[in-house]
Chains A and B, each alone.
Chain A
């Protein structure tokens, strides 16, 4: 009986790992076939609608001035630009720093959220700021980011197509040389954006709006009712609502923005936990809707389901290890077990989550001219194992909260050291 159950579980996981393996090979090949000199994703640079940039911030005094100063250096016409900083009940000097900048910059507003009883959290902060937005396109940047000067032109260019609902740019790690954590996070980003997102763009699938370095049509946002304040992954939630409403999400690889990556394993764990739990919430919420939607073709449905399921795979990896261990010791293993048992760990290492160590990171580093960075890929086995623990905990916590009916919006924010400033030459 135990052998049969373990066999079924193992077969199920093997089937899914093969599906993801094929997905990542297809993605990698699609990117390799994309001409290098093509302006990735940029449609019409002369299209310049009015834009509102939202910068939510909670205790970001170490980094907020950097991005606000950068906002004054953007090359987008200032008469079409509006910047709204949302200070969500910060207990440090974030609000004061933002106010000081706003006094020098007419198109910069600060929304101070200190009223008791208001919902906290990034989604709530963004929704509150929507009433101040005057632009046709709403872009979002996290407080620790540092964009290119012409990033706004590049991001909004895709909206010349009325079918486009949202856009995502590329995130690059600013403080990569800081330590081994930042270097590995940088590798993950290279795989996730340069290959994974780009492939989805090239193949007409569903690039994910990441909640920062991206934007959405204001009219669509109003239609959808803003961000979901109950979701930990409000960006993933918005991505699928956009697609289910009949719009497309585009990815612009040339629109680069630099982020300050987490610098410690504990910060890494908290960040990935939030992503995993939020993403799983979306999976429960949207899987059936994606499957039954009449607005999505078969390829986008398949991609959507695989995207939604991505953070469950580390949990299933643990299941596969357990079931494999059982089958290796049980006398009556299925006849096919001897042939396929080796595939699971190999496949898992090749594809896990958005991080797909082998294929996507390696090719992404190659395309970026960073062949030496590929030497670090083998270290991703440790982040892979760590993610199994993180995602399993997120899954268990989510199940418990669903059973107990718990939910609430709050900041699970990533602490920023401001070390990214060291990598910007004055």
Chain B
């Protein structure tokens, strides 16, 4: 089979390929422009967890109790800056 293209076919082919390439790369460009991927698990010295806004996933099972302590500590910090609505 020998390739035998006229100008119209070539133009359509090039347009189609360009459109395909753009569609293929579009999600990647979006993600690079506005990254929303959770990224690698953040390491807090003793253990690992994904950013709190996404999902907690402890890899170091033997240190579950420390994770609870960290979460409680963080929540305490957040609560402490809220105004005391009862007073």
**A149, B60: Cα distance in complex, Å:** 8
Show the binding face of B for A, using Cβ within 8 Å: 1-3, 24-25, 27-28, 30-32, 35-48, 50, 55, 57, 59-60, 62-63
Chain B's closest residue to A333 (CB) is: B1
Q: How many A-B contacts are there with CB distance less than 8 Å?
A: 83
Contact between chains at A378 and B39 (CB < 8 Å): no
Show the binding face of A for B, using Cβ within 8 Å: 73, 75, 146, 148-150, 172-174, 176-177, 180, 186, 254, 256, 258, 327-331, 333, 337-338, 369-370, 372-373, 375-379, 381, 423-426
**A331, B4: Cα distance in complex, Å:** 10
Contact between chains at B43 and A176 (CB < 8 Å): no
Contact between chains at A370 and B60 (CB < 8 Å): no
Contact between chains at B28 and A426 (CB < 8 Å): no
Given A148-B60, A149-B60: 15 more A-B contacts, CB < 8 Å: A149-B63, A172-B40, A176-B40, A256-B48, A338-B1, A369-B55, A372-B38, A375-B30, A375-B31, A376-B28, A376-B37, A377-B28, A378-B24, A378-B28, A423-B42
Chain B residues touching A, majority SS:
loop
Residues of A within 8 A of B2 (CB): 328-331, 333
Contact between chains at B40 and A329 (CB < 8 Å): no
CB distance from B9 to the nearest CB of A (A): 14
Contact between chains at A425 and B45 (CB < 8 Å): yes
**A216, B51: Cα distance in complex, Å:** 35
If A333-B1, A369-B38 touch, does A375 touch B28 (CB 8 Å cutoff)? yes
Contact between chains at A378 and B59 (CB < 8 Å): no
The 6 A-B pairs at the shortest CB distance, nearest first, are namely A375-B27, A372-B37, A375-B31, A425-B44, A328-B3, A338-B1
**A80, B72: Cα distance in complex, Å:** 35
If A376-B31, A377-B28 touch, does A149 touch B46 (CB 8 Å cutoff)? yes
Chain B's closest residue to A70 (CB) is: B45
Residues of A within 8 A of B45 (CB): 73, 424-426
Contact between chains at A174 and B40 (CB < 8 Å): yes
Residues of A within 8 A of B60 (CB): 148-150
Contact between chains at B40 and A186 (CB < 8 Å): yes
Chain A's closest residue to B1 (CB) is: A338
CB distance from A125 to the nearest CB of B (A): 27
Chain B's closest residue to A372 (CB) is: B37
Residues of B within 8 A of A173 (CB): 40
Residues of A within 8 A of B3 (CB): 328-329
**A375, B32: Cα distance in complex, Å:** 9
**A423, B36: Cα distance in complex, Å:** 17
Contact between chains at A372 and B40 (CB < 8 Å): no
CB distance from A141 to the nearest CB of B (A): 15
CB distance from A333 to the nearest CB of B (A): 5
Most buried by A among B1, B39, B40, B62: B40
Contact between chains at B57 and A369 (CB < 8 Å): yes
Chain B's closest residue to A255 (CB) is: B59
Q: List 30 A-B contacts (CB under 8 A).
A: A148-B48, A149-B63, A150-B60, A173-B40, A174-B43, A176-B40, A186-B40, A256-B59, A258-B40, A327-B1, A328-B3, A329-B3, A331-B2, A333-B1, A337-B1, A338-B1, A369-B38, A369-B50, A369-B57, A370-B37, A372-B31, A373-B31, A375-B27, A375-B31, A375-B37, A376-B27, A376-B32, A424-B44, A425-B45, A426-B45
Residues of A within 8 A of B62 (CB): 75, 150
Residues of B within 8 A of A146 (CB): 43
Residues of B within 8 A of A330 (CB): 2
Chain A's closest residue to B54 (CB) is: A369
